[in-house]
Structure 1
Amino acid sequence: MWQTRGRHTGPAAPDVLRKHLQALKDAGTVQDFMELPDADTPEGESAFEARWQVAEEVTVRARLRLAEWSGPGQEWTLTAEAERPWDLRWPSPAGMFWPWETDTPWGQETVTGERFLVTNALPSDDKELRRTLRAALRDTWTVHLVVHEAMTPDEHGRRSLVPLLPPGLHHRVIEHRAAPHQLRTVNWALKESRVEVPRGGALVLPGAPAPADYDAADFSVRSVFLDGTHPTELLDAVRRFAALPRPLPQDADAALTALREEWQLLTLEEELARERKLVVMYKEALEAMTESRDLYREAAEHAHEALAAYREMAAEAGEPRQAPARKSGSPFQQLGRTLERFRETTKGLRPSAPAATAAPGGSPDHKHTTGTTGGDEPEVTDR
């Protein structure tokens, strides 16, 4: 896996990417590329995917994301992954997406604002110098190298040492140059990190947090000859530092996840394999739904059988089947209805009283009599 981040300070960054990627595709350097649809990227962002092969037909997939930046231009984040462990001798993925030209607007690191593949002189103002080095110490995306010029170098000495590194480090290393009189200020700014730059030498900054195996003595060089001599010791220190295990920078994990799980630039074979996986997934889902439906139907049949058996048993026992009464109303209403039913019941159990009505004169009526001799006699009533 290979990652870096930078800024494009000029206009029309997507146009630059399209033009360069198309030129590399026409030349056969890049197998294919695509710009992701707007629907697949957050608002204000764009993304490009590209695929190419390196030594021994190892396929590399890479995604570059462009996002808004607080200053002019846009921030870009590039993540690449190969089919086998990354070899620093392979071409830099940044060079596959961006054209490298003198003063190219895309080649700036995001934290300090310094440029890749050139020497970056530390600011002459002491406050700006300290601010730059402290920002470099906080950077977790880029390797920062500080070289002290023991004397003013000639044209050969002013050339950057980064192009002498393997291509895989060209856009992951920033070279800072300290003038002869700036050594004390530089080491004062680095004092909190407990590291210092040797006079006439160089130091690979530890970053924050420093790798567990970082030792300033192992990553500092006592003498660097800026006369065109190949700085073997310094280049070896940078390579060893870049190989140290370090936690992923902020947002790097999300970029790697997007590359692996949201990749869209597929070959015909990859598309066929993906469709086959979808068919298998849909088949398994359909089988699970069918099994669930059969289980539900079986359970319903058992429930109906149990209900029919219960009804047959109830009919044989002579028990009426009636739905339970549905209770409604408040407890006081239920109590009132119960008392009303009790009163109606007690009315039927009360003995009947003899009917007696008062005559107009105040005398009671005579009782009705029925004759028992000579047959039935007419009923006589005194009025």
Structure 2
Amino acid sequence: MAKNSASSTTVPDTTWLGRGRHLGAEPERDVRRNLIALKAARVIDDFLDLDPVEAALSTDLYPRDESADPGPGARRLFEARWQVADGITVRAQLTTYDPESRRMESEGVTWVLAAEAERAWQADWPSPATVFWPDSDQVAWDHDKVPGVRLRTTNHLPKDDDELRRLLRDCTRQSWFVHVLVHEAMTPDTLGRRPITAFLPPSLRHRVVEHRATPEQALSADFVLKRELGVGIPRGGAVVLPAAPQAPGQDAQRFTVRNVFLDGTEPTELLDKIKEFTSLPQPMPADAEQALTRLRQGWHLLTPDEELVHARAMVTRYAKALEAMTSSCDLYREAAESALAALAEATGGDSTDRTPSPAAAKPDASPLKALTKTFGLFRGPNK
């Protein structure tokens, strides 16, 4: 994962991308158990659990690319394949990574997930996140790379303005998720504290992070937002935060809602704004392009038909390699025959071996003198 800046390209409409942190003790065990259960229930067709080194060295269906390797720090590589509506096949790959340093071990294990379908992704399809991770509050897989931010819940803004500024900057520049800020006009009850993301379709539920500003944070949140992102938030309203750099069509005013009633009812207007925002071309996050390349060019979980195509491709590849080797041998033989003909012409057709034997050489003769004497045997009287 060497890239540090966002790509100028946009995310293909056939893909689903996510990156987060698992704060539990054994993340790979959680993934493995979930995949086994889903395969037994026939929710997914099949899955693979691979060692990153073995995955990088194995022969795949597609041509290899250096960016298709999991990269340094990779712990495990999981692949899964399932079908959605109308028999559309989805392929997904999840890679777990060690903390970048010992000081960051408390921040958990980083995971990167890339999924791609055979046609444009639909919001009502199952979330790839819950194919690999159990959809349970008991498993803490849903933390963003931005510290203190989590999916599937409401994240209250920090009280300090400097911390708030830093948080908004990190969420819009480092996170792979879409961030929504909601201002509470008054302190909500139990129903009002329910995350708005719970009303979203399955595939959007784990792509959107919800932030909450308390009633007394109306002015400070609005001031910091305008200063950092050029967008304000109405009192008692909400706004979908634009990514940095801002993509075409992500007009902040267009994705601002004046009123959001936090009474447990479905906030239809805000949900429509989120759906519209996520349907726009999204800028490719930093390192996401490599994850997508790894999915496409480092795929291992083949169907029987794909295995047959792969075997035929390997036969063709080996046949071409054998043909190239045969051609090289023919060229080498022709070159050797030409060299022997030239040697015969230079020696007047005498086929006697004129090279002195090692036994005939003096014990104290130097290699240079022996070599000079050997070449002298082939000199003609006028050469």
Measured against the shorter chain, the TM-score band is 0.7 to 0.9
Q: Take 1:193 and 1:9, find their aligned partners in 2: how far apart are those partners? A: 30
State whether structure 2 residue 202 is matched by structure 1 residue 167.
Answer: yes
Q: Take 2:246 and 2:269, find their aligned partners in 1: how far apart are those partners? A: 21
Partner of 1:130: 165
Q: Which consecutive unaligned segments of at least 5 residues does structure 2 have?
A: 1-14, 55-69, 350-376
Q: Take 1:68 and 1:62, find their aligned partners in 2: how far apart are those partners? A: 20
Q: Take 1:38 and 1:213, find their aligned partners in 2: how far apart are those partners? A: 39
**Secondary structure in structure 2 of the residue aligned to 1:293:** helix
Equivalent positions of 1:1-383 (< 5 A) are 1-37=15-51, 39-40=53-54, 42=72, 45-69=75-99, 70-72=104-106, 73-190=108-225, 191-301=227-337, 323=379
Residues 10-61 of structure 1: CA deviation (Å, up to 9, x unaligned): 1111111111111111111111112102533655611211111111111111
Contact 2:73 2:97 in 1 (8 A): no
**Secondary structure in structure 2 of the residue aligned to 1:45:** strand
Task: State how many pairs are aligned.
Answer: 320
Q: Take 2:341 and 2:173, find their aligned partners in 1: how far apart are those partners? A: 74
Q: Take 2:185 and 2:27, find their aligned partners in 1: how far apart are those partners? A: 40
Higher RCO structure, 1 or 2 (CA under 8 Å, sep 6+): 2
Moved more, 256-265 or 195-204: 256-265
Contact 1:197 1:220 in 2 (8 A): yes
Q: What's the TM-score once normalised by structure 2's chain length?
A: 0.76
Identical-residue share of aligned pairs (%): 51
Contact 2:143 2:151 in 1 (8 A): yes
CA displacement at 1:311 relative to structure 2: 7.6
Q: What's the TM-score once normalised by structure 1's chain length?
A: 0.76
Q: Take 1:322 and 1:116, find their aligned partners in 2: how far apart are those partners? A: 84
Residues 193-243 of structure 1: CA deviation (Å, up to 9, x unaligned): 211111111111112111122211111111112223432221122122212
Flag the 1:322–1:22 CA change in 2: closer, same or farther, 3 A.
Answer: closer
**Secondary structure in structure 1 of the residue aligned to 2:223:** helix
Contact 1:130 1:186 in 2 (8 A): no
Q: Take 1:44 and 1:236, find their aligned partners in 2: how far apart are those partners? A: 38
Q: Take 1:216 and 1:43, find their aligned partners in 2: how far apart are those partners? A: 37
Q: Take 1:167 and 1:234, find their aligned partners in 2: how far apart are those partners? A: 16
CA displacement at 1:130 relative to structure 2: 3.0
Counterpart code for 1:165: L
Contact 2:161 2:224 in 1 (8 A): no
Q: Over aligned residue pairs, what C-alpha RMSD do you find? A: 2.6
Contact 2:51 2:75 in 1 (8 A): no
**Secondary structure in structure 2 of the residue aligned to 1:274:** helix
Q: Take 1:216 and 1:53, find their aligned partners in 2: how far apart are those partners? A: 36
Q: Take 2:74 and 2:118, find their aligned partners in 1: how far apart are those partners? A: 32
Q: Take 1:291 and 1:323, find their aligned partners in 2: how far apart are those partners? A: 35
Residues 323-352 of structure 1: CA deviation (Å, up to 9, x unaligned): 169x9xxxxxxxxxxxxxxxxxxxxxxxxx
Flag the 1:158–1:301 CA change in 2: closer, same or farther, 3 A.
Answer: same
Q: Take 2:81 and 2:32, find their aligned partners in 1: how far apart are those partners? A: 14
Contact 1:144 1:204 in 2 (8 A): yes
* CA radius of gyration, larger in: 1
Counterpart code for 1:21: L
Contact 1:147 1:201 in 2 (8 A): yes
